[in-house]
Amino acid sequence: MSTQSNPVPESPLGSQPVAPAAMVPTRPMYWSIRRELWENRSIYIAPLAVAAVFLLGVLISMVYLPERRSAVLLLDQARQQAAIERPYDIAAALLIVTALIVGVFYCLDALHGERRDRTILFWKSLPVSDLTTVLAKASVPLVILPLITFAIIVVTALIMLLLGTAVLLMNGLSAAPWPPLPQMLLVLLYGLTAGALWHAPIYGWLLLVSGWARRATFLWAVLPPVAICIVEKIGFGTSHLFSLLGHRLAGGFAEAFTNRPQGGVLSDWLTQIDPGKFLSSPALWIGLVFAAAFVAAAVWLRRYREPI
């Protein structure tokens, strides 16, 4: 006695070809930068702390704002503008200096820290190249910090403007004239960009020292240039290297802007912007070449330097 098998009908999905799952790009540069922000929270905490302390001082000084505004309105137009913009200029200057200090100490610890705590062994086991890692670290002082600083300056200026307007209106005074924030912020964005490019060889040198030194990275970064300056002064009676270093540290604005306007009002710097002069400066491009060489050397050191 034979039994007839009942064939099971095929599933309608069985005959359809299964499309392969789409591969999501890993974006190693993006996640490397996210890692830097996660591991180095001082990148944004330090500027935020400075802005908060400054705003606290501004809030306390609002008690005397009506009297100061009444005295300012008695001045001529140029002095009025200078007096109204001065608190905004001070806030911007404090945050720019803070970003510069944070960038210096970040670069000194960027490669040295992972060698010191031996986490480099874990990070090098991931499919992220040394070039990507070092470029991500270099992008922090060159791109991330200027953008964070600019955003914090914008928010700080808006809070100061709203507080000042509210206090003046509650005391029966007109809030006008207002500071020209769009012009001021445009000048700041240009200045931050020019400053990052101008200081690129400094950050590159600090990354190189961070990848080479076993300890005391700050001393290894500072003492060799200082020693060479002393030897040049004693041996040759000249100070060319000292002048060169000073120009590299503080000469960026002289290259990016024309003559500083009288009174130092920040919004007046809008008429002094000179990107053509800045981009045609040989010192800028020589500095960028040195920065690229320092970064390339830092990549090589990260590839072959052992943990401490």
Question: How confident is the model over 35-79, as pLDDT tens digits?
Answer: 999 999 999 999 999 999 999 999 998 888 878 877 877 777 778
Q: Report if residue 24 sits inside a domain.
A: no
Q: Report if residue 1 sits inside a domain.
A: no
Q: Report if residue 109 sits inside a domain.
A: yes
Q: The whole model's pTM is what? A: 0.85
The answer on pLDDT for 294 being more than 60 is yes
Angle formed at CA 176 by CA 59 and CA 162, multiple of 5 degrees: 35
Question: How confident is the model over 184-201, as pLDDT tens digits?
Answer: 888 899 999 999 999 999
Q: Report if residue 20 sits inside a domain.
A: no
Q: Report if residue 94 sits inside a domain.
A: yes
Distance CA 128, CA 121 (A): 12
Q: Report if residue 180 sits inside a domain.
A: yes
Q: Report if residue 6 sits inside a domain.
A: no
Q: Which two tokens stand for residue 99?
A: 């970003």
Which among 274, 27, 279, 72 is positioned nearest to 164, based on CA atoms?
A: 72
Query: Residue 265's Cα: distance from chain center in Å?
Result: 23
User: pLDDT category, 259, cuts 50, 70, 90?
Assistant: low
How many distinct structural domains can be found in the chain? 1
Distance CA 34, CA 37 (A): 5
pLDDT confidence of residue 105: 95
Q: Report if residue 30 sits inside a domain.
A: no
Find the domain containing 169 and state its range: 41-304
User: pLDDT category, 16, cuts 50, 70, 90?
Assistant: low
The amino acid sitting at 257 is: F
Distance CA 215, CA 206 (A): 13
